Amino acid sequence: MRVPAPDPREVREASLEELSRLGLPLPPGQFPLVWEPGDEIELRPTPEIEARIAVLHVVLARCFGMPAEAAMGWLLGSHLVDMVTPPEWEFVMGGRGDHRSFVLHHDALFSLTWVLGLTKQLDPTLPVDERLVERLPDVAGGETFGQWRARLLTAPQHPADAAALLDLHYCLDWAYLEVERAGGPAPGVVDANAIGQRRWALEWAVVLRGPYHDEPPGWEEVDLST
């Protein structure tokens, strides 16, 4: 569902108010808006988000000891091999790559479950919901991607709400990195890495349409440099 984007300045004002409430530094006045007045927004198709959740879940399972043969067998049986990115493929098949960076995807996974309404809140001061695993495919138990989707009760967020949370995490990402550089305390148990992962997922899941936006990026193409 494509809808008009909310006023970016009003959304940014709300984001800055939240940063102030958390005791975080505010970005500079020239900090870019995420979208422009007149833009439109939508979420990626639900099946595409579900597939990304499933792939990340298998990647994380490999991080914690799932054998490569079992991981590949599940992906093949669920017809998800085409959804695996080259770095993920290298890690799933041969354990190559930055193990720690793949572990951090736990928070990206959490963010995507929020987009589909499988997680009630995405609070920047709270860690990943301990019950998250119950909402993911039971890979070890042999549940296929199709079986998992059949038992899901998704209720995707309204695109405007997801976009507002994206703007907040855009600002939070900057603020947490500033706090980290200054050696100050974070407002909760979540660190800058987790905030960056949650932003990554939102940047991928929320599609912005307008004259200054390119086509939606692939998972590995999400730009977190600003």
pLDDT at 32: 96
For 144-191, the pLDDT digits (tens) are 999 999 999 999 999 999 999 999 999 999 999 999 999 998 898 899
164 Ramachandran zone, left/alpha/beta (phi>0; psi -120 to 50): alpha
pTM: 0.96
Maximal CA-CA distance, the chain: 52
Q: What is the mean pLDDT of residues 198-222?
A: 96
Give the model's pLDDT for residue 120: 87
- Give the pLDDT of residue 99: 86
pLDDT at 225 over 90: no
What one-letter code names the amino acid at 104? L
- The DSSP line for 108-174 is HHHHHHHHTTSSS---TTS---TTGGGGS--TTTT--HHHHHHH----PPPHHHHHHHHHHHHHHHH
Q: Is the pLDDT of residue 131 over 90?
A: no
